[in-house]
Every structure is written in C-alpha cells, then in structure tokens.
C-alpha cells in the first residue's frame, strides 16, 4: 500500500495548521456478526469537498449514520470543529450544523417545496399560525443564493427527481447546516442532472460549506472532490489527494487489487432476429400509458442496452416481454411468433430468460435453499420431478452443485444454503446461473449489477457477454450509463415510455445518449439513429 504511505505523511505534517470540520477517530461499529466499521478514521477539513469511496458494504453509510446520530458507535471519538461531541440523534447533528441528503428522499409528495422544507420547524406568526409567506421568502432567497432555481410553491410530485434533491439540499441549508453529507447523490440522476449537481457542490463550497460526498463512482470524485477517504470491508484504507491520484489507483485502493474498466469482448456478430417488439403499448398500474407505441428489436448474438433514468417505462417493458403484465396494444414476437398472449410459463419454455431487477422480490425465494432456487423454473420437469409429480431431491442437489461449480457461486453450505444467507453477488450469480442454464433464446437482464461489488460485476458482465457469443439475444436494462456503454453492442435510449434514439455503442458518445435519456431528440442523437441501419449493415 504505497499510496497510503505517500498520503499519510503530508497530512500528518499539516495537522497543526489545518482546521478540521469533522474528525472521526477510531470509530468502531459492530452489528450482529459483522464489524461494519473497524477503527475507521475520517478527517474532513473545513470548507473542502471530501469524498468517501468504497464498495457496497464497505461501511460508508454506517460511518455517516454514526456521524448523523442514527447509530451509536461502539468505540472511537467524534470531534466537530475541534470539539469532542457525542451525537445521540439526528436532532443533535442538526444542532451541530450537520445536514444529510439521503439517497432516498424523505419528502411528502403532496406538499409544496416550502411546506416540505419547514416541516418539523415551522415558523410561527404571533397568533400561532404558520408563517408560510415568510418561509417562502426565505426559501426563495436561499435558492437564489446557491443558484438552485427551486420554485418554493411547486408540489413535490410535480417536480423532477433532480429538483427534489435540491429541495433536500435546501431543507438542510434552511436548518443552517454548514457540513453537508451527500449519500450516493447521483444514483437517481440523469447525466445532465449529475453535471448540475457537481456545479451545485462547487457553489456550496464557494459559499463556505464543507461537503462530504459518499459514492462508489470514481468519475464524480475526480470531478468534484479535493480529498478522498477510502474504506474497504469496514476498514480505513487511506486518505488521498484526488488531483494527484489516478482513477486506477483509487479503484485499486477500493477493491484491493487491480481492476479492469473495459470489458474484453469481441465485436458482435448479430444473427437472425430473435425479439421484435412492434408498436407496443402498456398501461402502468395507475392506468396511464407507461409504454407508448414502442418498437425495438434484438438479434441473436448481440446485446442491446436500454438506457434510461429509472421510471421511464423500463420495468413495464420487461414485464410485458416476460409476461408479468398484460399489454394494451402491439405485438411481441419471439423468433417470429407472437408471444404477447402466452402465459409466463409458456414464454419460459419458449426460451425467454429473465434476470429481474429486484432479485429479492422477483428472482429468489429467500427462504428456499440454493438448489431449490436453481430449479425454481424447471422443478416440474425431468429429472427433478417424476411423471407422477414426486421430486427427486438428489437430482436437484446435484444440479445445485454443478452450477455452484460452473458459476463460482460461494455458498457456505453448498446447495443446502438458504438463499437469504448468501451475499448479494452470489444471489445474483445464482439467478444468472439458473437463467443461463435453461439456455434461453432471449435473455432479458434488468439492473444486473445493482448493489454488487466490482469483482461480482466483472464476473456477471463476462457471463452476459459469453451468453451473447453463444448466440443468445440479450436485452440489458440499466440505470448506469457506464454499464450500458461498456457492456452493450447497441444502445436504445428510453424516455417516458418511448425509444428516443438508437445508437451503436462503439461510436456513441455518452453525452448524446445522456441527452436522449432526458428525452431530447438532439441532432446528434438523430445522427446516431440514422447510423443504426449501418450498424446492422451486414444483416438483411
């Protein structure tokens, strides 16, 4: 760990001269069976943007929850602006000037922006009623000062996710916070919104605020942060100066080994048409059209990525293809046959594989054993079930052992391991194993690597590419543009239930895809669309 040595020294030297906004020293937090933070140290200087980098489960959120008073640490001390404190609950954190923008916003959807901001500390007029006008004025002032351009009268349900995030920021500014914690703030944003957020962060810093940015995205750290503290498996790895550290070095600190950013794959050799969606219309559960006259095709031997921000019809499209929901118009053809009226079972038998977005809700029966989950779609067939409907548990366990070996699934008790006792990465591997083992013609993969660590992501991407090379048609839905750009051969951008444009991944620019995700049919995007026939050029 030479990076660590290089960076520790200068910091020690500066110790005397630099004022720290936050010092968390030797923080330890234990959960049953897990040490989430093991003597972690974090020193955030006043008026800096300090990133906390780590994989899922590295202990970033735990550390911040300790700072915000949500967890009581089992050891260590916390100093805020040089003074040792004990933070028992979020109210005390707020009183100390610490504010947090949570990953999942905590807003009342049918209240206005101002009402949400003042909720819990409503200013009173002399007669005891809420001084809404005064509050609105102050919100407008704050919004202007930090260039947030938030409308104080807007209802939360009618503003964009990016705006909602700014309301969260305003909420803590309104409470006079000068230390702002952002927990994975870009997870829900479009690329454009991410850029705007980066500007907001810089603006906040210019106004004298201290910012802690929790993330696992290296690009954002390079763009916005000055220093970065890296955690791995609950331990402090080091604090580095961002400008003098490369993305590769940061990744290595985060994962503990060298990481490949690009996926090694050969050029796609698209074959015959496998999935062809024509004029599809699907109503959402609330009754409005979630998919509008959508057409899309996927060929054998290619990976088509559906890029888009969460909630633009991706889940409905996947549900329509796999048979989980009914369609209102159009056709879904699998190898030329209309499957849109078929049952889920018939589609599985016809060769539709599905790696669902929510692996706990749709992918696994968590209380079942691993091998039972592996045969969840085939338990009613030979050799797992006799003709009389009696199960052969030996055959099921054997299949479990086979796939554990083939797919490198780590399970402490082998095929008998309960699915709920496995890590997220291994659960996902189990689902991928099950789906690939059924040799699907079409593999629909939604959010294949959400919440997984870098190692598991690499593996799952490799498997998806291998499936393509075997001649399957693969449709990938992901909210991570990087993943789409990296993994897919063609990219279709979806916005408000419509395909805005289709681009060849090799030549597409991230910027133009981002614009399309936001619903802009920019000239650039048009050109990418025009380019698609060429991308499929060789094929009739």
Partner 1 sequence: MSAAPKDSSHGASKASLLDTLVASDGAVSAFVVILGFLCGTALILAVGKNPGNMYAALLQTLSGFDVTRGSWNARYIGEWLTASMPLILCGLSMGFAARTGLFNIGAEGQYIVGLSAAQFVAIYGPQVPGLHWILAVLAGALAGALWGGIVGWLKGKYSVSEVVATIMLNYIAYFLSRFLTQLIPEANTYKTQSFPKTALLESSLLQGLTNGSRLGLGIYIVIICCLFYWFIIERTRLGFELRATGFNKEAARCSGIKVTKSITLSMGIAGAFAGLAGVVVALGSFNYGRVLSGYDYYGFNGIAVALVGNSTAGGTLISGLLFGMLSSAQPLMQSRQIPKEITQIISGLVVVFISLRAGFRMIMEWRAKRIAKEKRGERDE
Rule CB under 8 A: which residues touch partner 1? 28, 30-33, 35, 74, 322, 324, 343-345, 347-349, 354, 356, 361-368, 372, 376-377, 379-380, 385, 389-391
Minimum gap (Å) between residue 442 Cβ and partner 1: 15
Which is closer to partner 1, CB of 30 or CB of 70? Answer: 30
User: How many residues does the structure list for the chain?
Assistant: 540
Minimum gap (Å) between residue 362 Cβ and partner 1: 5
Cβ contacts of residue 162 below 8 Å, gap of 6+? 189, 190, 193, 196, 197
State CA 37 to chain mean position distance: 23
Q: Closest Cα to residue 517, out of 502, 506, 507?
A: 502
Minimum gap (Å) between residue 318 Cβ and partner 1: 11
Minimum gap (Å) between residue 142 Cβ and partner 1: 42
CA distance readout (Å), 353 to 220, 371, 413? 34, 18, 27
CA distance 395 to 506: 44
Strand partners, 298: 275
Minimum gap (Å) between residue 528 Cβ and partner 1: 34
Minimum gap (Å) between residue 30 Cβ and partner 1: 5
Report the SS3 class of residue 427: helix
Report the SS3 class of residue 443: strand
Which is closer to partner 1, CB of 174 or CB of 368? Answer: 368
What is the per-residue burial (b if ≥16 Cβ within 10 Å, else e) of 355-382?
bbbebeebbbeeeebbbbbbbbbbbeee
Minimum gap (Å) between residue 331 Cβ and partner 1: 21
First to last CA, the chain: 54
Task: Tell me the residue ranges of DSSP E strands in 187-272.
Answer: 210-215, 227-232, 235-241
CA distance 181 to 186: 13
Which is closer to partner 1, CB of 356 or CB of 514? Answer: 356
Which is closer to partner 1, CB of 111 or CB of 379? Answer: 379
Report the SS3 class of residue 540: coil
Which is closer to partner 1, CB of 85 or CB of 391? Answer: 391
Which is closer to partner 1, CB of 284 or CB of 385? Answer: 385
Phi, psi of 390 (to 5 degrees): -100, 130
State CA 389 to chain mean position distance: 41
Minimum gap (Å) between residue 386 Cβ and partner 1: 8
CA distance 457 to 174: 40
Which is closer to partner 1, CB of 59 or CB of 289? Answer: 59
Minimum gap (Å) between residue 361 Cβ and partner 1: 5
Minimum gap (Å) between residue 410 Cβ and partner 1: 21
- Give one word for 351, left, alpha or beta, with left for phi > 0 and alpha for psi -120 to 50: left
Residue 14 CB neighbours (<10 A): 10
Minimum gap (Å) between residue 316 Cβ and partner 1: 15
Residue with tokens 């009389």: 388
Q: In terms of C-beta density within 10 A (0-12 exposed, 13-18 middle, 19 or more buried), how is residue 212 classed?
A: buried
Which is closer to partner 1, CB of 126 or CB of 286? Answer: 286
What six digits make up the tokens of 214?
């929790």
Which is closer to partner 1, CB of 257 or CB of 286? Answer: 286
Q: Closest Cα to residue 373, out of 328, 322, 433?
A: 433
Which is closer to partner 1, CB of 31 or CB of 261? Answer: 31
Which is closer to partner 1, CB of 1 or CB of 365? Answer: 365
């Amino acid at each position: 760990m030479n990076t660590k040595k290089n960076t520790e020294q200068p910091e020690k030297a500066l110790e005397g001269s630099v004022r720290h906004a936050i010092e968390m020293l030797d923080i330890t937090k234990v959960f049953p069976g897990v040490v989430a933070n093991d003597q972690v140290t974090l020193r955030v200087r006043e008026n800096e943007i300090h990133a906390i980098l780590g994989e899922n489960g590295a202990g970033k959120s735990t550390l911040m929850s300790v700072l915000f008073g949500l967890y009581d640490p089992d050891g260590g001390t916390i100093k805020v602006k040089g003074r040792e404190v004990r933070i028992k609950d979020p109210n005390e954190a707020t009183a100390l000037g610490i504010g947090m923008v949570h990953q999942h916003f905590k807003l009342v959807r049918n209240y206005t922006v101002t009402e949400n901001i003042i909720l819990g500390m409503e200013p009173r007029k002399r007669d005891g009623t809420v001084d809404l006008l005064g509050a609105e004025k102050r919100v407008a002032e704050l919004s202007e000062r930090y260039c947030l351009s938030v409308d104080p009268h807007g209802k939360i349900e009618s503003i964009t996710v990016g705006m909602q995030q700014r309301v969260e920021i305003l909420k803590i500014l309104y409470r006079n916070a000068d230390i702002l914690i952002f927990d994975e703030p870009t997870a829900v944003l479009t690329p454009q919104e991410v850029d705007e957020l980066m500007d907001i962060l810089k603006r906040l810093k210019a106004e004298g605020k201290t910012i802690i940015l929790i993330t696992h995205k290296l690009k954002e750290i390079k763009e916005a942060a000055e220093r970065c503290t890296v955690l791995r498996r609950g331990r402090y790895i080091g604090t580095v100066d961002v400008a003098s550290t490369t993305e590769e070095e940061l990744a290595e600190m985060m994962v503990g080994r060298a990481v490949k950013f690009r996926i090694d794959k050969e050029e796609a050799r698209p074959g015959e048409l496998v999935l062809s969606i024509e004029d599809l219309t699907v109503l959402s559960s609330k009754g409005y059209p979630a998919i509008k006259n959508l057409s899309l095709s996927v060929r054998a031997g290619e990976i088509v990525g559906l890029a888009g921000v969460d909630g633009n019809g991706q889940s409905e499209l996947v549900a329509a293809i796999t048979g989980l929901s009914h369609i209102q118009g159009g056709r879904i053809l699998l190898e030329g046959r209309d499957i849109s009226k078929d049952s889920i079972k018939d589609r599985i038998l016809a060769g539709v594989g599905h790696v669902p977005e929510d692996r706990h809700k749709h992918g696994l029966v968590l209380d079942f054993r691993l091998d039972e989950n592996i045969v969840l779609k085939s338990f009613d067939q030979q050799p797992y079930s006799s003709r009389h409907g009696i199960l052969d548990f030996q055959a099921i366990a054997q299949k479990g052992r086979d796939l554990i070996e083939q797919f490198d699934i780590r399970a402490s008790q082998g095929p008998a391991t309960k699915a709920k006792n496995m890590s997220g990465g291994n659960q996902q591997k189990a689902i991928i194993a099950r789906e690939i083992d059924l040799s699907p013609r079409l593999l629909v993969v939604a959010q294949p690597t959400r919440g997984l660590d870098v190692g598991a992501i690499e593996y799952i991407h490799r498997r998806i590419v291998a499936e393509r090379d075997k001649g399957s048609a693969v449709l990938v839905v992901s909210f991570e543009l990087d993943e789409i750009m990296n993994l897919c051969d063609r990219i279709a951008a979806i916005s408000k239930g419509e395909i805005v444009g289709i681009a060849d991944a090799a030549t597409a620019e991230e910027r133009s895809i981002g614009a399309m995700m936001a619903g802009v049919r920019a000239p650039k995007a048009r050109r990418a669309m025009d380019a698609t026939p060429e991308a499929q050029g060789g094929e009739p």
